[in-house]
Chains A and B, each alone.
Chain A
Amino acid sequence: MLINKNSFKIDGVSFAPYLEKVKFGRHKIWHKDAGRNNLSGTYTGSLVGTFPKFTLSFGPLTQAQLEYITPYLEKAEQSINYYSNKLKRQNTLACYSGDYEYENQNTLDNLDENEPFEISFIARTKE
């Protein structure tokens, strides 16, 4: 969760000024052995782990703001520093990110802004 404006950083840069909200997901990834595949029909399986997923919602950004954050979003891997409810402290995880799309309804300049957009960062390792 966001506990202050600096509690969410990407590669050491606070993204709070650009964000409208952050959705913290905790995704359980299962091995292939999971399922009702034993003789008693009990659902069993091995848990690969719980992997945090951060869905960032950016508000309308100006051209300068977008140009500033784009290099961080373009990288294959990002280092996300966030506050972990489980660990009860700031934690850093290496993440990969998904696609993102932004939409312009007007010509973008420093006065006009694009439409809000989202991007997800998924932890490479277990928390």
Chain B
Amino acid sequence: MKAHTQTFKDNLIKLGKELDAKVTYTIDGTETILDGESLSSVNPHYEGAILKSVMKQVDITSDVDIPVGTVINVQFGMKYEDEPYEYVDYGNYVVKESKYQEDTRKYYLLCDDKMLYAMKEYEPVEVTYPVTVRDYLSAICTSISVTFGSASDTFTHYDETIPAELYDNTYTYRDVLDEIAEVTASTICINKDDELEVRYINKKTGSGGVEGLPSDYVALEYIESNGTPYINTQVNNSNSIDYEVEFAFTQFGSAQRVFGSSMNSYGSSFGVNSSGNLLINHMNRSVTFSQLELEQKYNFKKEGQYFYLDGNRVYTGASGVISGTNKMGLFCSIKYGPEYYAHAKVYSVKIYDGTTLIRDMVPCKNASDIVGMYDVVNQTFYASNNTGTFIEGDEVVTIDEIDENYIKDTRAEFGEKYGPINSIVLSRSAESDNVYLRDEDSVAENGLCEIKIVDNQIMNDNTRDRFLQGILDRLDGLEYYTNDFESIGITYLDLCDYYNVKIFDNVYPCLMLNDEVEIGDGLNEIIYTEMPSQTVTDYTKADKTDRRINQAYLMVDKQNQRIDAVVSTQEDFQDSLSQLSVTVDGIQSKVELNYDFVRETSGNNYISVADIQQGGIVEFKITGTAISEGLLKLHITNNDPEYIELPISTLLKQGDVADELSIEAVYNEDTKLYEMHVFIDKKLDYINNQIVTRTSSNNFLLDNDTDILQTESNDDLLLEDYVEGKQDLGIINLPLQEGEHTFSIDGFTGLDYYLKYAVLNNITSEFALKKHIVSEINQSPEQIGISAEKIKLEGYTTINNGFSVDLQGNMTCNNATINGTINSNNGTIAGWNMTAEGLTNGAVKIMNNGGTTIYTIADIIILRGHINGTTGFEIPSILQSRYDLNGDGVLDLKDLVLLQNILKINIE
């Protein structure tokens, strides 16, 4: 709300008000003020919205040209009769364009506020990431040369961090400010002091509706003293002084005075004694009454000799002459100085001299945020006269009201009510990935009214739900009527002001978002607020949080030009993830599964498992006080062997019992097997750092079993320690078949068993604690890579037109180099026919039983040797037919000639 007086508002509807406008600017150090003599019209206007940045503009028609780029200040003035003009400040603007109009011979100036500086391409701001939203906004202000007016404000999410640069030159600074407005649940604008401001809906008038309080003061419900600050009202006490004070005590325990002076017979004050009883001091007499309640608001009034509490006369004081110069204090009484400081709240003070009101003091804070009381009679602000500051009560909220006298009959439309807002939705991925927070009570009572924020880069990570509460806190319950009305000129309402329009008996709460003021031949103002675009989210497909597990989202990273789609689930022993990443360089898809086969179980006396892998023990502990010395046998049912002897501990003496027996599996890299290491824990007794064994109440046996220590009183010498008592009993062979087993140590009851083991599964038949399966497809402009445990191609498949596999699995290719095995029992190879029995080529055969019809030189030598009788051995009858080539039943030269003809070799 622009600073103005109530008189200004009252004069707006008076007949005969006179108007003025001022445009002030400085060029080369010379200030120029254009007034109504030079200005034909001044039209400030803007179109705003919540969760957006807003730029205000003004159009001016002037006899005088103002250079483009000049910063001007615009004020509207009004007076009635002989009063001086009162101006409201419309802030500063930059002349963006100047056009000379020949018809009117005037200049038409188009001016924007300094939001204009944000209408340029974004460049990365100079900050160190991560950076808070407030510091980031400050850096943006530096970049666009605008002062950051909210640099010390704790606006919504001011301390949330932005992890890295999120924007590039496809954005303007204004775009970024829009997104920050969403993050901060605010409207970002330039205020009258040319500062960028994070603005919230303003429901109060500056003065809280208190007549006479300057508009730049903020009325408070009360001010509170903690016993130090006080106010000297500068009123001399006398018989004619009466007063009325509204107050509440916040602490008892000492004598306190709320108001008055205390100069013996000249004094008149009131407060409480140390017990909290009302105390009236008057004419050197102190009278106490019933105890007051802490934090209870009371009204105390003095009229002459009579004193009233909440309207009831409680005391009639002595008559007499009060004279002197002692002042009357507030939050104390004043004697030579202040005394009896009060721990109290004061809501109002009125002081009368006879029937004349000489002080009417209201709690407030001034334009410098100093808390005190303002005397509207003398227009004087009273701050504390002591060290310390008053504690401020709540600001007095009064909603400004415009009645029918301000509304023209040409246009007065008040439509449907928007709100109350009760749901915030953060949306991305073409509005398919939504998280929300709702005020369920309000939704049930009023129906749903949501605000959907789409694709905000700052609220785009997977913990974006952390922003929901802050935004909802700001906007929850906001409601207003859409409107479109023409007024006689209200002029003091500012962007985001919340006000009521009262037309006879109807009251319409409204929010100032769009404004067009025409100051020229008269005054006119068009105000309108449209219905925001309504969204209805399918909440059955939205979530209240971004799931840390079981996620399904599509994330668009405009800064890095990347889209990620992720679907993941996490179950007890299985994680699944499918991910698609799209960048300008390529597409990567990955599907992975992580199995965890490790299980735990425990039991007393024994432990059973139904589905352990072969050799699947990872950790096995037996705990109890009943483990004694000697041979221990681990009994494993349904196993071979069924009993396994455990190594004997030297820690356990006759009669000792162990505290814990553990069998720990240690993976051996060389053998690729788990080795079973047996450990035993035993509380050991120490005396003078020597391990001892108690043999009787005062006798201890040293570890070497020889010396006996005797103590008269051993308690102070006896120490116990677990760590030193752990003994590695070595490695045992613990063969374990897969399946169902029960583990126990026979002969010992009451033992606790714990087993961590690898469970049988249908993922792998090999021993495994975990299994990671992943398939990936990586596509770049140059290539596609496919990686998976199994790749399945169905259908007629070709590669480079030279390789194909048909639907029946028949492969055709031009060439093949095969380094491994070829298995076939059909077809041809190198002119040979392949059969299940071997290779044949006409009469020539190579059979897989060793038989062949292929001859070599060795056959010539064997046959000739046989004919010549020089081989020294008979050709076995089974080979007779091989060499009887003419089939005459005799191996002779005819056969040799035929053989040489086959081999085309003639060996003489």
Contact = CB atoms under 8 A, between A and B. Distances in A.
A binds B: yes
A70 interface: no
B521 A31 contact: yes
B412 A45 contact: no
A38 interface: yes
Contacts of B13: 38, 42, 44
Interface string A33-74: 110011111111111110000000000000000000000000
Contact of B521 (A32, A38, A41): A32
Contacts of A42: 13, 15, 405
Contacts of B409: 37-39, 41
Interface stretch (B16-24, B344-352, B749-757): B16-24
Contact of A44 (B19, B37, B405, B521): B405
Contacts of B405: 38-40, 42, 44
A31 B15 contact: no
B675 to A, nearest CB: 95
A46 B408 contact: no
A32 B522 contact: yes
Contacts of A125: 37
A32 B524 CA distance: 10
A37 B18 CA distance: 18
B14 interface: yes
Interface in A2-46: 28, 31-34, 37-46
B17 A46 contact: yes
Contacts of B19: 31, 46
B524 A33 contact: yes
Nearest to A33: B522
A46 to B, nearest CB: 5
A48 B78 CA distance: 11
Interface in B400-423: 403-410, 412
B523 interface: yes
Contacts of A41: 409
B51 to A, nearest CB: 33
Contacts of A32: 521-522
A49 B404 CA distance: 26
B503 interface: yes
B131 interface: no
Query: B interface, by DSSP: helix, strand, loop or mixed?
Result: strand
Contacts of B523: 31, 33, 46
A92 to B, nearest CB: 16
Interface residues of B, number: 24
Nearest to B13: A44
Contact of A38 (B16, B17, B18, B407): B407
Contact of A47 (B18, B37, B408, B412): B18
Contacts of A34: 15, 522
B526 to A, nearest CB: 13
B488 interface: yes
Contacts of A46: 16-19, 522-523
Interface size class of A (residues with CB under 8 A): 10 to 19
A31 B521 CA distance: 5
B522 A44 contact: no
Contacts of B37: 125
A113 to B, nearest CB: 42
A39 B522 contact: no
Contacts of A28: 16
Interface in B326-348: none
A38 B408 contact: yes
Contacts of A39: 404-405, 407-409, 412, 503
Contacts of A37: 408-410, 488
Contacts of A44: 13-15, 405, 488
A31 B13 CA distance: 14
Nearest to B19: A46
Nearest to B81: A47
A47 B404 contact: no
A89 to B, nearest CB: 16
Interface in B122-179: none
Contacts of A43: 15
A54 B14 CA distance: 29
Contacts of B408: 37-39
A113 B489 CA distance: 56
A65 B405 CA distance: 57
A43 B19 CA distance: 17
A120 B404 CA distance: 42
Contacts of B16: 28, 45-47
The interface centre, meaning the residue of A31, A39, A43 with most chain B CB atoms within 10 A of its CB, is A39
Nearest to A41: B409
Contact of B488 (A33, A47, A48): A33
Nearest to A48: B18
Nearest to A45: B15
A106 to B, nearest CB: 46
Interface string B34-59: 00010000000000000000000000
A49 B17 CA distance: 9
B507 to A, nearest CB: 14
A40 B14 contact: no
The interface centre, meaning the residue of A31, A46, A49 with most chain B CB atoms within 10 A of its CB, is A46
Contact of A49 (B18, B403, B524): B18
Interface string B865-907: 0000000000000000000000000000000000000000000
A45 B17 CA distance: 7
B410 to A, nearest CB: 7
Interface in B481-537: 488-489, 503, 521-524
A125 B35 CA distance: 13
Contacts of A38: 13, 404-409, 488
Contacts of B403: 40
A4 to B, nearest CB: 28
B666 to A, nearest CB: 91
A93 to B, nearest CB: 14
A47 B410 contact: no
Interface string B284-303: 00000000000000000000
Nearest to A28: B16
Contacts of A31: 19, 521-523
A38 B408 CA distance: 4
A30 to B, nearest CB: 8
A41 B407 CA distance: 10
B409 to A, nearest CB: 5
Contacts of B412: 39
A103 to B, nearest CB: 38
Interface in B408-458: 408-410, 412
Given A33-B523, A39-B503, A40-B403, 17 more contacts: A33-B488, A33-B521, A33-B522, A33-B524, A34-B15, A37-B408, A38-B405, A38-B407, A39-B405, A39-B407, A39-B412, A42-B15, A44-B14, A44-B15, A46-B18, A46-B19, A49-B18
8 contacts: A37-B488, A38-B13, A38-B404, A39-B404, A39-B503, A42-B405, A44-B488, A46-B19
Interface of A: 28, 31-34, 37-49, 125
9 closest pairs, A vs B, by CB?
A33-B522, A31-B522, A39-B404, A47-B16, A32-B522, A40-B404, A32-B521, A39-B407, A46-B522
